[in-house]
Homo-oligomer: A and B are copies of this chain.
């Protein structure tokens, strides 16, 4: 096949994706030269076009590939959580941050590039991001059915809001390159805020 994407699993393809991730995280999509990606990946400029149709395609492929991976890890780890929906929600928050800390380039890439790219690279719809949101949404709905969560809030709205909250906090953490000293404390606070709200309550839950 003379087509512009060789076998989906090829060490070279993966090297290119990795190089692109590093480069995009460091300088952003529009400020990254294809030749920089190539040298980061240790291949020739032209080689990239054997695996991807063009720069846009490389960006989108990177999204899909990495998001798929994130979704898979999140799903499995979430299934292993003992306890009710509240416990799972807390775990979700923790996992979201943990994944980001373990993969700083990926975190930076996703938090910073997701929006722009989603909108301007030839109207790409980003189905994987939708999948990610669905995990949250279903978790909320499970809790609503089970009686743990209030039912007067739209699950799609809530899941979006939650994602936004996590994402924004993560953005700061990521950009500041803060050493993750007290992440547990932060995720704890966020979970409490999400679950119990901001309002002050008398001493008894």
Contacts and interface: CB of A to CB of B under 8 A. Distances in A.
A65 interface: no
A81 interface: no
A115 interface: yes
Interface residues of A, number: 51
Contacts of A201: 150
Contacts of A28: 116, 119-120
Contact of A190 (B120, B143, B157, B172): B157
A150 B194 CA distance: 13
A124 interface: no
Contacts of A186: 157
A190 B152 CA distance: 11
Copies held by the complex? 2
Given A160-B169, A163-B168, A197 B196 contact: yes
Contacts of A162: 165
Interface core residue of A27, A161, A192 (most chain B CB under 10 Å): A161
Interface string A136-154: 0000100100011111111
Interface string A155-171: 00110111111111101
Nearest to A27: B120
A92 B31 CA distance: 36
